[in-house]
Amino acid sequence: MASLTVENYIKTIFQVCLSGDGQAATGQLASALGVSPGTVTSMLKTLSESNLVTYTPYEGVRLTHAGNALALRVVRRHRLTELFLVKTLNMTWDEVHEEAEHMEHAVSDRLIDRIDEFLGRPEADPHGDPIPRSDGSFEIPASRTLAECGVGDKFRLSRVIDQSPEFLRFLSNSGLPLGTAGQVVANRIEAGIVTVSVEGQETTLGRAAAEKILVTPGR
Amino acid sequence: MASLTVENYIKTIFQVCLSGDGQAATGQLASALGVSPGTVTSMLKTLSESNLVTYTPYEGVRLTHAGNALALRVVRRHRLTELFLVKTLNMTWDEVHEEAEHMEHAVSDRLIDRIDEFLGRPEADPHGDPIPRSDGSFEIPASRTLAECGVGDKFRLSRVIDQSPEFLRFLSNSGLPLGTAGQVVANRIEAGIVTVSVEGQETTLGRAAAEKILVTPGR
DNA sequence: CAGGTAAATTAGGCTGGACTACAATTCCCA
DNA sequence: TGGGAATTGTAGTCCAGCCTAATTTACCTG
């Protein structure tokens, strides 16, 4: 049985690998986990001995098949927990991450499967993050960032990368919850802004914010 | 912030104290927690230094005010979690204890308060165990064991002490879920059995089983 | 009231997971 | 292409929790 610490390392390696070149560097893990680089190095050896990762000193770490499977289980627990809290208790998308961060290590896979069934086998969590399935399969739907859209593009807001409570609350307050349909009315690279129109209402976002929002082509 | 281990020690001390003379012995804690006696002794010193317990070597341990408050918070989290799982996912009373055992350390008090509200501030969990309130108050309703009832007594099944899945399933299968109303038709101390009638159906229990079932006077 | 037994404590040791300080490596640029 | 900066790795230390074995205490009974 993987310890809470091991699960967190594996999950973090998974996320860093996904958002980069498929490898995770010691320093990235150290800052993501809030521990010192030396601690990460020694843990990577441990994980390597457990055959959860392949580790090449001074180069990086990547998940083995077993490591990937564990990461997907942890991510699945996290995301289904988030959605469960939203659906049952009417919690908001900015509240659930913190709770799920702890609960993901405490709920059994059996319980998670029941939650999955109760929720009707959802594909995504409240932030639009795809949910790994119980058979270990995992697909990331195609999408692009709002910053990549051209003027006139119609879109549907499908996923939010920056999940800080502040950003999520900003989106809610701006009438931009998940699933929102809209159209890009301006995208000025020089000025670093993107303006969208949603139900007649225009909102302007900085480029950094627009890059944290994923969209699919709108209707 | 109390560690998972500390929370488990405090909760166990609480339970042992309640079911006995208000003190917990080292050996009782060791077997309840599944650790060696020596381990308990050293942990009791730690807890004592944190002012969660008062510890007298060779005599026993009892909770301080702070220790009692912590125990009630853990018990509250456990019991509300159990009821939440039963209400939302239709889990059965023999399934939820194990899950709650882990989740009680992972859910925040804020989340628990929302669950409490969602459930309508219930008084008892699926086994009839009373739920400590958020203000720290805690009352144990008066009751007696089925073994203490006399022939002819009408009762309502209010709480089950033995919460092993096997026993709970036995009760369910015997038509004796929580809340069942019935009447004692025999109580033979020499034979060590108690026979009850529920909706015309008679069931005979051993004395040990009858002592694990609490009842309130029926209508 | 002496001695045996059961329970509790002490002593010493181990492992997981963290730290700091220092050494090695890699990278990048002049 | 050499050298400094940034990144990694190594070594040694610490603490929480656990163990076993040896010792001490408390209690009970003859």
Q: What is the pLDDT of residues A80-109, one digit of tens each?
A: 999 999 999 999 999 999 999 999 999 999
- The Å distance, CA of A216 to C1' of D7, is 38
- Residue A12 inside a domain? The answer is yes
Examine the fold and report which residue of A38, A63, A88 is the final residue of a domain before the chain moves on. A63
Number of domains in chain B: 2
Of B99, B111, B118, the CB nearest to A108: B99
Q: Are A7 and A74 in contact (CB under 8 A)?
A: yes
What are the Cα distances from residue B205, in Å, to B143, B166, B187, B213? 19, 15, 10, 10
Question: Could you report how far apart the first and last alpha carbons of chain B are, in Å?
Answer: 47
Main-chain dihedrals φ then ψ at residue A66, nearest 5 degrees: -65, -40
Domain of A148 in residue numbering reads as: 144-217
- Among A16, A33, A63, identify where a domain stops: A63
> How many Å separate Cα B115 from the centre of its chain?
19
CA of A37 to C1' of C22 (A): 14
Residue B79 φ then ψ, to 5°: -70, -40
Cβ atoms within 10 Å of A18's Cβ, excluding its own = 12
Spell out the residues 6+ positions from residue B84 whose beta carbon is closer than 8 angstroms to its own: B115, B118, B119
pLDDT of residue B1: 84
Report chain B residues whose CB lies below 8 A from the CB of A98.
108
Query: Once rounded to an integer, what is the mean pLDDT over residues A45-54?
Result: 96
Buried b vs exposed e over A30-61: b needs ≥16 C-beta within 10 Å? bebbeeeeeebeebbeebbeeebbebeeeebb
CB contact under 8 A, B103 and A103: yes
Which pLDDT band holds residue A218 (cuts at 50, 70, 90)?
A: confident
In-domain check, residue B104: no
Residue B6 DSSP SS3? helix
CA A36 to C1' C20, in angstroms, rounded, equals 10
B89 located within any domain: no
CA distance B36 to A118: 41
Question: Which whole-number Å values give the CA distances from A107 to A101, A151, B105, in the listed order?
Answer: 11, 45, 11
A127-166 per-residue burial string, b: 16 or more CB within 10 A, e: under 16: bbbbbbebeeeeeeeebebbbebeeebebebbbbeebeee
Q: What are phi and psi of A217, to 5 degrees?
A: -60, 135
The residue from A22, A38, A63 where one domain ends is A63
Length of chain A: 219
Neighbours of B11 (CB within 10 A): 23
The reply to whether the CB atom of residue A27 sits less than 7 A from any atom in nucleic acid chain D is yes
Residue A30 maps to which CATH number? 1.10.10.10
pLDDT surpasses 90 at A144? yes
Which CATH number characterizes residue B190's domain?
A: 2.30.30.90
Cβ distance B106 to A106 less than 8 Å, yes or no, reads yes
Query: Nearest C-alpha of chain A: how many angstroms from B160?
Result: 24
The Cα of B175 is separated from the nearest Cα of chain A by a number of Å equal to: 26
Q: Are A98 and A130 in contact (CB under 8 A)?
A: no
Cβ-based contacts of A91 with chain B (< 8 Å): 114
Does A114 fall in a domain?
A: no
Amino acid B187: pLDDT: 95
Q: What is the pLDDT of residues B38-61, one digit of tens each?
A: 999 999 999 999 999 999 999 999
> Is B80 domain-assigned?
no
Check if residue B143 sits with its Cβ under 7 angstroms from strand C.
no
Phi and psi torsions of B117, nearest 5°: -65, -45
- CB-CB neighbours of A105 under 10 Å: 19
Q: Is residue B55 part of a domain?
A: yes
Q: Is the pLDDT of residue B33 over 90?
A: yes
Which of B's residues 24-53 have CB atoms within 7 A of nucleic strand D? Answer: 34-39, 42-43, 46
Write out pLDDT tens, residues A170-182: 999 999 999 999 9
Q: What is the pLDDT of residues B147-177, one digit of tens each?
A: 999 999 999 999 999 999 999 999 999 999 9
Is the pLDDT reported for residue A219 higher than 80?
no
Amino acid at A1: M
Q: In chain B, what's the furthest Cα-to-Cα distance?
A: 58
Residue B206 lies in a domain: yes
Q: Is the pLDDT of residue B195 over 80?
A: yes
Is position A184 within any domain? yes
